[in-house]
């Protein structure tokens, strides 16, 4: 036997049908609000993920550096009797130094929770020469098997291969243009210490930044150690972690455990991270005010409904309907309006996201950034809109429940 709907649902459905125009308008209004929330949330989440991905594909999450050399006193100038001597302090030149006991530190970091990859590197400045052309560069000696999992250089290659033997070098496309070289050509690299080596260009990469493309080069770790005078040593240790937003906390733990200075990407890109946080705050603010407008829309419609249906409410109360049942009638209306509006809004947002992904393109035809549609976002929006409908309906429902039957019937 088919079970009938509860009394409150029957009355709520009748009230909604009788005010079809009001019901339709408020559902459309809720749908637009939910669509705005879902669309903007999905867009901003994808935009932030794209920004972070672009930043972190060119650098490690955490980088360990050797301690800086301390300032030393050059001379003291004698003052008057009884006066303190003034020390003249000159900051020392920062030479390329190796991290002490870097092998044991690397092993210790690998065992830390949250750490994914650890890659030692040797970096420094050098001069690259090809014929009459010469350019100042930054050479980074790496173990390609590990380092390329941290900084995805193979994905940024324009020509050649990511091969790095002891006689190979990878350079940026702008540096290649300045020197007039291509894959297979040889260049001479020399350092301030008087060491030099002739290397073969095996690949040209594009980091998306002209300055980086003009200065950044990659060689094998042993090659860099030989050129920079760091035989058996490394000048930095790059670390990748599971949660990029926990990088600063892990960096502090590394410093506390090893005594080596550890800088996270959050610290080195402070302005960028502040901009990301500002985007999150603005997104939350927009969602709050859109949700507030949805709540006021539902509340205003139900207040009007209470005024319009006061006689019917009075008759129902005179027939023995309890205050609690009247309260639930309007709460059901608010929940139904929120749910129906959220379903329409999620559908609108889904279409808008599909259109954005299909038609929002770069000049070369590629998408602005990858856009992933998360089902959880839609369920959260539906739950938010339904709860907002219930919350907005509470005050009108309470007013309806408190109506005196005699006064309501008399009008």
Q: What is the pLDDT of residues 103-112, one digit of tens each?
A: 999 999 999 9
Residue 323, pLDDT > 50, answer: yes
Let me know if residue 88 belongs to a domain: no
Averaged pLDDT, 95-121: 87
Q: Which range, of 16-25, 90-99, 336-345, 364-373, averages the lowest pLDDT?
A: 90-99
Q: Give percent of the chain with pLDDT exceeding 70.
A: 88
**Residues 361, 244 share a domain:** no
Q: At 83, which helix (H) or strand (E)?
A: none
Residue 342, pLDDT > 90, answer: no
Q: How many CB atoms lie within 10 A of CB 141?
A: 26
Averaged pLDDT, 124-153: 90
Per the listing, tokens 């109506």 go with 403
- Alpha carbons within 13 angstroms on the beta-carbon side of residue 277 total 8
pLDDT at residue number 72: 56
Residue 174, pLDDT > 90, answer: yes
- Please give the residue that has the higher pLDDT: either 100 or 252: 252
pLDDT at residue number 88: 60
Averaged pLDDT, 219-228: 91
Nearest Cα residue to 153 out of 60, 16, 244: 60
Residue 1, pLDDT > 50, answer: no
Residue 369, pLDDT > 80, answer: no
pLDDT at residue number 172: 93
pLDDT at residue number 280: 77
Q: How many residues does the chain have?
A: 411
Let me know if residue 73 belongs to a domain: no
pLDDT band at 212 (very low <50, low <70, confident <90, very high): confident
Q: At 339, which helix (H) or strand (E)?
A: helix 323-359
Let me know if residue 360 belongs to a domain: yes
Averaged pLDDT, 106-135: 90
Let me know if residue 62 belongs to a domain: no
Q: Are 141 and 170 in contact, with CB atoms under 8 Å apart?
A: no
> Across 93-107, 287-301, 340-354, which has the greatest mean pLDDT?
340-354
The phi and psi torsions of 218 (rounded to 5 degrees) equal -125, 135
Alpha helices of 188-318 — where are they, by DSSP H? 210-215, 221-228, 247-258, 265-268, 270-308, 310-318
**Residues 253, 135 share a domain:** yes
Residue 75, pLDDT > 60, answer: no
Let me know if residue 90 belongs to a domain: no
Q: Number of structural domains, the chain?
A: 2
**Residues 119, 42 share a domain:** no
**Six-digit token string for 2:** 């088919």
Gap between the Cα atoms of 201 and 34, Å rounded: 54
Let me know if residue 67 belongs to a domain: no
Let me know if residue 80 belongs to a domain: no
Residue 123, pLDDT > 80, answer: yes
**Residues 220, 362 share a domain:** no
pLDDT band at 375 (very low <50, low <70, confident <90, very high): confident
Which letter, b or e, does each residue of 74-93 get, where b requires 16 or more Cβ atoms within 10 Å of its Cβ? eeeeeeeeeeeeeeeeeeee
Averaged pLDDT, 148-168: 90
Alpha helices of 111-207 — where are they, by DSSP H? 144-150, 153-156, 173-179
Residue 137, pLDDT > 60, answer: yes
Mean pLDDT score of the chain = 82
Helix (H, G, I), strand (E, B) or coil at 115: strand
**Residues 13, 126 share a domain:** no
Q: Are strands 186-190 and 133-142 parallel, antiparallel or unpaired?
A: unpaired
Range of the domain at 291: 7-55+273-410
Residue 94, pLDDT > 60, answer: no
- pTM here is 0.65
**Residues 282, 248 share a domain:** no
pLDDT at residue number 108: 92
pLDDT band at 288 (very low <50, low <70, confident <90, very high): confident
**Residues 255, 187 share a domain:** yes
Q: Give percent of the chain with pLDDT exceeding 90.
A: 22
Residue 154, pLDDT > 80, answer: yes
pLDDT band at 91 (very low <50, low <70, confident <90, very high): low
Gap between the Cα atoms of 93 and 68, Å rounded: 9
Q: How far apart are the first and last CA of the chain?
A: 41
pLDDT at residue number 202: 94
Domain boundary among 259, 288, 310: 259
pLDDT at residue number 97: 73
Residue 382, pLDDT > 60, answer: yes
Domain boundary among 199, 227, 259: 259
**Residues 400, 319 share a domain:** yes
Vertex 353 angle, CA 348 and 354, to 5°: 100
Domain boundary among 259, 283, 317: 259
**Residues 293, 173 share a domain:** no
The Cα-based distances of 407 to 68, 316, 402 in angstroms read 84, 13, 11
**Six-digit token string for 92:** 């020392």
Which letter, b or e, does each residue of 372-400 get, where b requires 16 or more Cβ atoms within 10 Å of its Cβ? eeeeebbeebbebbbebbbbbbeebbebb
pLDDT at residue number 157: 92
Let me know if residue 300 belongs to a domain: yes
pLDDT at residue number 2: 45
Q: Are 69 and 92 in contact, with CB atoms under 8 Å apart?
A: yes
Averaged pLDDT, 260-284: 81
Nearest Cα residue to 99 out of 69, 124, 65, 125: 65
- Please give the residue that has the higher pLDDT: either 270 or 159: 159
**Residues 193, 116 share a domain:** yes
H helix count then E strand count, the chain: 15, 12
**Residues 364, 223 share a domain:** no
Task: Determine the distance from the C-alpha atom of residue 255 to the mean position of all C-alpha atoms in its chain, rounded to a whole number.
Answer: 25
Gap between the Cα atoms of 409 and 208, Å rounded: 74
Residue 71, pLDDT > 70, answer: no
**Residues 396, 287 share a domain:** yes
pLDDT at residue number 250: 92
């Amino acid at each position: 036997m088919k079970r009938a709907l509860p009394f409150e649902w029957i009355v709520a459905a009748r009230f909604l049908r009788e005010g079809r125009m009001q019901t339709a308008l408020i559902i459309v209004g809720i749908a637009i609000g939910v669509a705005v929330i879902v669309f903007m949330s999905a867009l901003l989440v994808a935009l932030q993920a794209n920004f972070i991905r672009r930043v972190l594909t060119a650098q490690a999450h955490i980088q360990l550096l050797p301690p800086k050399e301390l300032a030393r006193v050059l001379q003291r100038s004698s003052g008057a009797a009884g006066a303190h001597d003034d020390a003249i302090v000159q900051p020392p030149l920062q030479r390329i130094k190796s991290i002490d006991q870097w092998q044991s530190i690397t092993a210790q970091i690998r065992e830390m929770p949250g750490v994914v990859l650890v890659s030692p590197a040797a970096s420094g400045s050098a001069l690259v020469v090809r014929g009459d052309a010469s350019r100042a560069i930054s050479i980074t000696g790496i173990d390609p098997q590990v380092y390329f999992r941290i900084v995805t250089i193979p994905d940024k290659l324009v020509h050649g291969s990511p091969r790095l033997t002891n006689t190979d070098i990878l350079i940026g496309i702008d540096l290649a243009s300045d020197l007039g070289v291509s894959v297979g050509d040889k260049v001479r690299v020399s350092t301030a210490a008087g060491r030099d080596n002739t290397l073969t260009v095996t690949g040209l990469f594009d980091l998306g930044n002209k300055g980086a493309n003009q200065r950044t080069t990659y060689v094998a770790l042993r090659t860099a150690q030989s050129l920079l005078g760091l035989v058996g040593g490394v000048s930095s240790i790059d670390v990748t972690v599971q949660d990029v937003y926990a990088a600063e906390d892990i960096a502090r733990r590394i410093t506390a455990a090893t005594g080596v200075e550890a800088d996270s990407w959050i610290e080195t890109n402070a302005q960028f991270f502040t901009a990301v946080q500002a985007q999150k705050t603005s997104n939350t603010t927009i969602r709050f005010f859109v949700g507030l407008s949805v709540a006021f829309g539902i509340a205003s419609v139900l207040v009007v409904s209470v005024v319009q249906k006061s006689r019917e409410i009075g008759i129902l109360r005179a027939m023995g309907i309890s205050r609690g049942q009247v309260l639930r009638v309007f709460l059901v209306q608010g929940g139904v309006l929120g749910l129906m509006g959220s379903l329409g809004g999620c559908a609108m947002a889904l279409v808008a996201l599909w259109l954005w992904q299909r038609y929002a393109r770069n000049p070369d035809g590629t998408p602005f950034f990858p856009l992933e549609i998360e089902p959880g976002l839609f369920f959260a929006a539906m739950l938010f809109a339904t709860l907002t409908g219930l919350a907005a309906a509470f005050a009108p429902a309470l007013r309806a429940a408190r109506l005196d039957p005699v006064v309501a019937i008399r009008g």
